[in-house]
Amino acid sequence: MEDIIEDLEEIAIGLPGDIKLAVASIARRRKLLSDDVLIALADASWEILDVSGSDVLDFGLIKAAERCETVVVKVLGANSRQGEQEFLTEVLLLGRLHHKNLVALVGYVAERGRHMLLYIYMSNGSLASHLYGKGYEPLSWDLRLSITLDVARVLEYLHYGVDPPIVHRDIKSSNILLDDFMKAKVTDSGLSRPEMIKPRASNIRGTFGYLDPEYISTSTFTKKSDVYSFGVLLFELITGRNPQQGLIEYVKLAAMESEGKIGWEEIVDPQLNENYDVNKLNDMASLAFKCVSGVSKTRPSMRTAVQALSKLYKKPKRNHSQTSSTAQPIIIGVCRCS
């Protein structure tokens, strides 16, 4: 127990990003997280990285030494209404999701009311940190376009690649993580549910600024609700503006002059310094504007969005040696070491 707590107290060791993450080294141990480890996780003075609308706390990292993965531990907060069976159902749901642009789940803990999910750590942080954080280089136009296509492909997979279809429910820039090669990985899909959530549920889930207005009025979340959030994300990347600070209202004013098809360069992020293709910008903004339509039936499907974005993005040639592998999830409640 003492050596575990000692490991957990190794904090702030210079990991990437401006947030000092709590780190523990659990070297070459291939076993279940014991009750002692759980107590140590709960009692350690780790910095809380995020509190989402679903009472999820990020408690930093378990950094496994040498041959082990580095993982983020997501701990459901005490206010979560999720029961044991519901949690295990979600874990099984996550276990059947396999996509290169989804953050890999490598384990979970469900013991005595403690619910934890262990995800692969993404070294370049969140998209939100690159858009709004200090000390980051501005994202290029090509990189922004690449990120939107990565996210679109994940949503297309969730909507059409699994049975029954899955809706994410919380697409936003802080849930888009970036790996070593700046490829986008979508996280928090543990909040997903099969499409057509039970109508008029008492609790609205999601993030203000990204929420489908039809969902707010009906409490029914569908694939087209994810499409709306994706459209907001597109405009966030185009403008560099925070959706929680009146982005869509700003977009609608611009649309009155652009007629939804051309002239969108008036709202482009000044950090791009005009280094973008105007035609591609207008095409991307036109797609985004369709996605944020107030009438869900008129929004495109994510399959249509992927097709449209694929035409805009020309994939750069990459050295074959630079490809990174995607870890396969292990849904047995352990921290995986290879």
Q: What is the DSSP string of 47-79?
A: PP--B-TT-EEEEEEEE--TTB-EEEEEEE-TT
Instruction: Quick: pLDDT tens for 187-244.
Output: 875 445 554 445 554 567 788 999 999 999 988 889 999 999 999 999 999 999 999 9
User: For 154, which DSSP code?
Assistant: H
CB 138 within 8 A of CB 272: yes
Give yes or no for residue 273 having a pLDDT over 80.
yes
Q: What is the CATH number of domain 127-312?
A: 1.10.510.10
Q: Comparing C-alpha atoms, which of 142, 220, 146, 147 is closest to residue 177?
A: 147
pLDDT band of 298, cuts 50, 70, 90? very high
Instruction: Specify the pTM.
Output: 0.74
Q: Measured between alpha carbons, how far is 337 from 155 in angstroms, rounded to an integer?
A: 30
8 Å CB contact between 302 and 152: yes
Q: Which of 181-195, 238-252, 259-273 has the lowest mean pLDDT?
A: 181-195
Architecture of domain 2-120: 2-Layer Sandwich (3.30)
Alpha helices in the chain (DSSP H): 2-8, 35-43, 84-95, 127-132, 141-160, 213-218, 223-239, 247-258, 278-291, 302-312
Confidence of residue 262 (pLDDT cuts 50, 70, 90): confident
Q: What pLDDT score does 191 carry?
A: 46
Give the residue extent of every domain in the chain.
Answer: 2-120, 127-312
- Alpha-carbon distance of 306 to 145, in angstroms, equals 11
- Are the C-beta atoms of residues 170 and 230 closer than 8 Å to each other? no
State the catalytic residues: 170
Q: Of all residues in the chain, what percent carry a pLDDT higher than 90?
A: 41
**pLDDT(86) > 60:** yes
From residue 38, give the alpha-carbon distance in Å to each of 79, 87, 165, 189, 331: 18, 17, 34, 24, 18
User: Between the ranges 6-10, 61-65, 134-138, where is the mean pLDDT highest?
Assistant: 134-138
